[in-house]
């Protein structure tokens, strides 16, 4: 009977079906990425792995800054304009974002080589390629965002899966084939170019389609609307990048390229806990908003306890066995990462804890708190890295990021409890106790692994 009711609910709810298939797609896409980690850790040296990681970090930054973060306005515009107006809007802001990327690329190209390398930590041609890749990926990200809004999960999942799978395939080919004719050959370039090829093909097709559908390359009203919404979000999006990725840039600057590669590998294995949170969060968020509308705080409090306890149990198991992932799947030059993985997994658990409270802020439409607290946590992360990286090496970055996420949890809890007066929704002291237990367990495993 229970299964029958669940199935009927699934069949009758477009949002529930979409959430289910997004969850399946996340596991499939992340599963491919996870399986690719041992492949590339064996094909690339730690220094080459570090080059790829730094490239990806700058690409994320350029994707936010050079495009004016225009894709951040799609959600508002989807409900502001009718169907034809929205298509015109999409084609217009696509032009705006690509123009911004073009200007950013020209600025990088005109920058002196030595200055660019010193500021960005990678060679100038790779920096320019990172800016160009933002231009290539913008149409793909915009199309995928629109498909999510319209619950077209098939298109979203298919493009997400294929770009990831073909990116890995092309990367392997471009690592092996040129090496047969070019000696020596920087294999990190093969990994980067191979990753970009499917996005280039998909981006060209999707950009053409959006321009044909909308037929608008420039409209000052659309551009103004997009910039008013998107530019304030740049600060928030950059804060997220600083919080999640800037540590590897700092490791490269303070310690070395190889250490940045080892740390990145640890983060990719440790990202399992974050992947689980992403999947379960797709189900939790719509349920939470529905219960808030119904006014059932006791049910939310009870379910959040259960959710946190189950997730803590899974995280604890992953933390205990996580050092084995590195030993089994990576060559010996990466084994130093085994001490960092349990700390990264503990960070993933605090992502769950702080998301409880950010969901309340979203519900209350107090998103300014989210941007402010993310920025404060990012500052904490950067400052702690600047202090401890030169002393303790790249392993310190895992702990500084964990501290930043703990701060994020405490800051959002403070806002929800004392500013929004919604403290009854969650058992703060129980969540804190569970979090402390996870940190202690990660610390024990860290000590054993590093010893």
Domain map (residue ranges) of the chain: 16-237, 252-450
CA 302 to chain centre: 29
CA nearest neighbour of 307 among 342, 279, 345: 279
As a whole number of angstroms, the distance between CA 129 and CA 152 comes to 31
- What are the distances in angstroms from CA 284 to CA 10, 71, 114, 300? 15, 24, 49, 10
The answer to whether the CB of 127 falls within 8 A of the CB of 66 is no
Tell me what pLDDT residue 12 has: 47
As a whole number of angstroms, the distance between CA 349 and CA 204 comes to 38
The answer to whether the CB of 300 falls within 8 A of the CB of 292 is yes
As a whole number of angstroms, the distance between CA 310 and CA 106 comes to 50
Tell me what pLDDT residue 178 has: 74
Q: Which residues, in sequence order, are CB contacts of 121 under 8 Å at separation 6+?
A: 54, 249, 252, 253
Tell me what pLDDT residue 334 has: 86
Tell me what pLDDT residue 23 has: 64
As a whole number of angstroms, the distance between CA 438 and CA 436 comes to 5
The answer to whether the CB of 57 falls within 8 A of the CB of 49 is no
φ/ψ of 18, rounded to 5, equals -65, -45
For residue 373, give the H/E element and its range. Answer: helix 367-392
> Around Cβ 83, how many Cβ atoms within 10 Å?
7
The answer to whether the CB of 334 falls within 8 A of the CB of 262 is yes
The total number of residues written for the chain in this structure: 451
Three-state SS annotation for 127-140: HHHHHHHHHHHHHH
Tell me what pLDDT residue 347 has: 93
pLDDT in tens, the chain (451 residues): 444 444 454 444 555 565 566 666 666 766 777 778 888 888 888 888 889 989 998 998 999 999 988 887 887 787 778 888 888 999 999 999 999 999 999 999 998 888 888 888 888 899 999 999 998 899 999 888 888 777 677 777 788 888 888 999 999 999 888 766 766 677 888 899 999 999 999 999 998 988 888 888 888 898 998 888 788 778 778 887 878 778 888 888 888 888 888 888 888 888 888 878 877 776 787 788 888 888 888 899 999 999 999 999 999 999 999 888 888 888 888 888 889 999 999 999 999 999 999 888 878 877 778 888 888 998 999 999 999 999 998 899 999 999 999 999 999 999 999 998 888 899 999 999 999 999 999 999 999 988 6
CA nearest neighbour of 352 among 302, 269, 413, 293: 413
Q: Where are the alpha helices (DSSP H) in 46-186?
A: 46-65, 74-80, 83-110, 113-120, 124-149, 153-176
DSSP secondary structure string for all residues of 400-440: HHHHHHHHHHHHHHHIIIIIS--GGGS-HHHHHHHHHHHHH
As a whole number of angstroms, the distance between CA 120 and CA 410 comes to 32
> Around Cβ 295, how many Cβ atoms within 10 Å?
8
Q: Which residues of 212-224 are buried (b: 16+ CB within 10 A; e: fewer)?
A: eebebeebeebbe
Tell me what pLDDT residue 284 has: 83
The answer to whether the CB of 174 falls within 8 A of the CB of 52 is no
As a whole number of angstroms, the distance between CA 361 and CA 408 comes to 13
């Amino acid at each position: 009977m229970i299964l029958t009711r669940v199935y009927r609910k699934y069949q009758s709810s477009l949002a529930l079906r979409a959430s289910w298939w997004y969850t399946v797609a996340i596991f499939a896409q992340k599963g491919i990425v996870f399986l690719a980690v041992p492949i590339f850790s064996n094909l690339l040296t730690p220094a080459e792995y570090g080059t790829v990681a730094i490239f990806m970090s700058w690409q994320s930054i350029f994707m936010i800054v050079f495009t004016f973060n225009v894709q951040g306005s799609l959600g508002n515009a989807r409900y502001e304009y009718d169907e034809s107006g929205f298509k015109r809007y999409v084609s217009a802001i696509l032009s705006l974002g690509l123009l911004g990327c073009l200007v950013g690329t020209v600025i990088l190209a005109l920058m002196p080589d030595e200055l660019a390398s010193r500021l960005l930590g990678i060679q100038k041609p790779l920096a320019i390629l990172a800016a160009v890749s933002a231009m290539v990926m913008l149409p793909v990200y915009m199309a995928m965002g629109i498909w999510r809004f319209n619950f077209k999960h098939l298109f979203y999942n298919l493009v997400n899966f294929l770009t990831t799978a073909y990116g890995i395939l092309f990367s392997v080919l471009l690592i092996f084939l040129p090496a047969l004719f070019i000696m020596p050959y920087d294999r990190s370039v093969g990994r980067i170019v191979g990753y970009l090829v499917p996005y280039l093909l998909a981006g060209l097709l999707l950009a053409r389609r959006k321009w044909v559908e909308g037929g608008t390359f420039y409209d000052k009203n659309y551009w103004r609307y997009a910039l008013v919404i998107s530019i304030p979000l740049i600060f928030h999006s950059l804060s997220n990048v600083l919080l999640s990725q800037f540590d590897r840039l700092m490791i490269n600057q303070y310690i070395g390229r190889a250490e940045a590669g080892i740390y990145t590998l640890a983060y990719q294995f440790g990202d399992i806990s974050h992947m689980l949170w992403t999947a379960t969060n797709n189900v939790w968020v719509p349920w939470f908003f529905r219960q808030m509308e119904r006014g059932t705080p006791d049910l939310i409090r009870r379910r959040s306890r259960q959710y946190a306890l189950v997730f803590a149990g899974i995280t604890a198991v992953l933390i205990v066995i996580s050092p084995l992932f590195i030993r089994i799947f990576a060559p010996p030059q990466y084994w130093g990462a085994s001490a960092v993985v349990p700390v990264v997994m503990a960070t993933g658990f605090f992502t769950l804890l702080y998301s409880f409270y950010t969901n309340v802020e979203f519900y209350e439409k107090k998103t300014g708190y989210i941007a402010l607290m993310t920025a404060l946590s990012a500052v904490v992360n950067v400052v702690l890295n600047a202090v401890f990286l030169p002393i303790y090496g790249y392993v310190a970055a895992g702990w500084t990021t964990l501290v930043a996420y703990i701060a994020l949890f405490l800051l959002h809890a403070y806002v929800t409890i004392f500013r929004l007066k919604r403290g009854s929704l969650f058992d703060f002291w129980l969540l804190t106790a569970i979090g402390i237990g996870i940190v202690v367990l990660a610390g024990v495993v860290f000590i054993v692994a590093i010893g």
